Each structure stands twice: as structure tokens, then as C-alpha cells.
Amino acid sequence: MIKLILTDMDNTLLPFQKPASERALNAIHDLTEQGVFFGPASGRDWDSVLDSFRGDDVCMQTALLSNGKKIYAYGTLMNETAMDRQNIVDMAKMVYDLPGVYVSGRGDAGGFISGTTLPNLMGTTWGSRRAAEICEPDDIPAWPIITAGLHFEEGSEGVDNVEWGEKVRAACPKIDLISPGSRMFDCVPKGWSKASGLRILQILLAVRSDEVVCFGDSDNDYQILSSVEHSVAVANANDRVKTVARHHIGLCDDDAVGHALEDLARLGDGAFEKWDAEYQG
């Protein structure tokens, strides 16, 4: 019997820059009314994810946010894991002179952008929106940093992000970098993943691994998909995720997760047999 459903957001539940579909929202309500826990398992934080659910906080009563560093159960923040500040500072210093590259961070007390100059930052799409938060690496705030990212945006096309990711990992041993499927990296404590947050959430909800369904598409989903019996890859997932997933469904752009949530609400465990019969790729 399925008791907990978790889904990655971008390129899994959500097509590029689109909110959750009406189909997905209705299915989530059906599932929660049946007593099933549902939640996002995302590298993003609360406000951003809630916006993707069109402000519907029913979809957020259970959540693994910031790659599992923020854990919500019954609508309450139950656990929070901070990053090592000095390693974030060191990373920002390493990339300072790289064009189109910057470090972002956020905690409950606010956010910051670092590891770049203001003229460099203003040439980027996403980073420029937070230009007011720019600071020098040594001035990165001392409050707990929960979410952090290493970004490679406009101007960084000649910079090998994979090579620089390896350099940062070697120089900053208390953090790791994982890819959400783009040129940026999410930062997590060394050895941490969404699966780390799931283990805590399972204790809070008294749910076994064989009672969990997880949907994903990219490297930051690999560990959590490896840890549950009912792991599901969308058709646009990378090869590594497709290989580890037990079940497969259609494309994110076709609202495959929305359809799958409807199947789970209507068929329960019978949804797995339906997916396995329909998907042959």
C-alpha cells in the first residue's frame, strides 16, 4: 500500500517555467483526501515551490526542500540542515574571476550572491535579479546557509562546469555539488542527498521504503530513487536515472506525472502494472 508520494519539480512534474497542471493539483487533492502523504522533493525552497503549485498549500504539507535539507511534515518544518559557511566562502573565492559564474545562497534570515563582480552578475539572467544581495566572499553572512548553488550562466559558455565542479569538490571537502540537469550545481553537505532527507521523513511519518513512490529525472534524484522500491523516471530523464528507476512513464512536457498521480489516486498499487505495460522504452 502506498503511503507517501514524492516528486521532483523541474522537468519532472513541471515543464520549463510552467506551474503544476490542474490535473496534477486535482489528483494531489484526491490522494491526500485518501490519507496518502504527498510532497515535492526539490532543490528549491518553500516560496518558489509553493508558487509552482499556484499557492495551493495542500501540496506542501509534506515536503523535502533544498535537496532534503529542509523537511516538512504535517505542514511544519521538522528538520533543517545547514551548509558549512567556510567552504561556501572558499568556493566563492575560487570562481570569482570566471565570467558568468557566481555562487548563490539562502537561509531563513535572507539570501546572498557572491563569487562575482556586479558587472559580471548583471550580464546574467537569473543572478541579475538578485543583484541587490551581492557581497564579497568574506562578507557572506554568518547565519545558517540552507540552500546554495554554483551557477554557470551567460558568459560562461567557455568555462567547463564539470571540470570546475571537480575542482570545487576537491578544495571544499565539507560540501558536494549535484546537478539538477543544467549547467548549475546544487550544493549539499558532503554525503547528503534527497535520500538523506527521506530517511528522516520516513521516521516522522512511520512509512517504510516499500510504501514510497518517487518521481525524478536528473542526477540530484538518483540517490532517492535508489532508496525506494517504487522509483519512477519520466521519459526525458537522463540515462543514469532511467537505469536506476524501477518504473517508467512518459514525458514531463506531456504531464506524465499528472497522469501518474491520477492513476495512483484511482488504481492505488495497480498503477505500477499499468505503467509497466504501457511504457516499453
Query: What confidence tens digit (pLDDT) does each residue in 124-142 have?
Result: 999 999 999 999 999 999 9
Average pLDDT (197-226) is: 96
Per residue in 82-105, pLDDT tens? 999 999 999 999 999 999 999 999
- Cα separations in angstroms, 17 against 14, 20, 173, 252, 256: 7, 10, 33, 12, 16
| Domains of the chain, first to last | 4-81+193-278 (3.40.50.1000), 85-189 (3.30.1240)
What letter would DSSP give residue 156?
A: -
222 contacts: CB under 8 Å, gap ≥ 6: 193, 216, 240, 241, 244
pLDDT at 232: 98
Average pLDDT over residues 51-56: 98
pLDDT (mean) for 37-44: 96
The reported pLDDT for the residue numbered 41 is: 97
Instruction: State residue 52's pLDDT score.
Output: 98
Residue 280 has pLDDT above 70, yes or no: no
Rounded distance between C-alpha atoms, residue 235 and residue 252, angstroms = 7
Separation of alpha carbons 37 and 59, rounded Å? 9
- Number of helices (H), then strands (E), belonging to the chain: the values are 10, 13
Order of strands across the sheet with 76-80? 63-65, 70-73, 76-80
Identify the band that residue 181 occupies on the pLDDT scale cut at 50, 70 and 90: confident
242-263 pLDDT, tens digit per residue, is 999 999 999 999 999 999 999 9
φ, ψ (nearest 5 deg) of residue 73 = -140, 135
Distance (Å) of CA 13 to CA 72, 175, 192, 233: 19, 28, 23, 11
Give the pLDDT score at 200: 96
Given this model, what pLDDT does residue 67 score?
93
Query: Quick one: pLDDT at residue 179?
Result: 84
pLDDT averaged over every residue in the chain: 96
> What residue type is 225 in one-letter code?
L
- Per DSSP, the three-state class of 150 is strand
d(CA 242, CA 92): 33
Query: Is 146 within 8 Å of 80 (Cβ atoms)?
Result: yes
Judge whether residue 281 has pLDDT over 60: no
Q: Concatenated DSSP letters for 56-90?
A: -GGGGSSEEETTTTEEEETTEEEEE----HHHHHH
Give 108's pLDDT tier (boundaries 50, 70, 90): confident
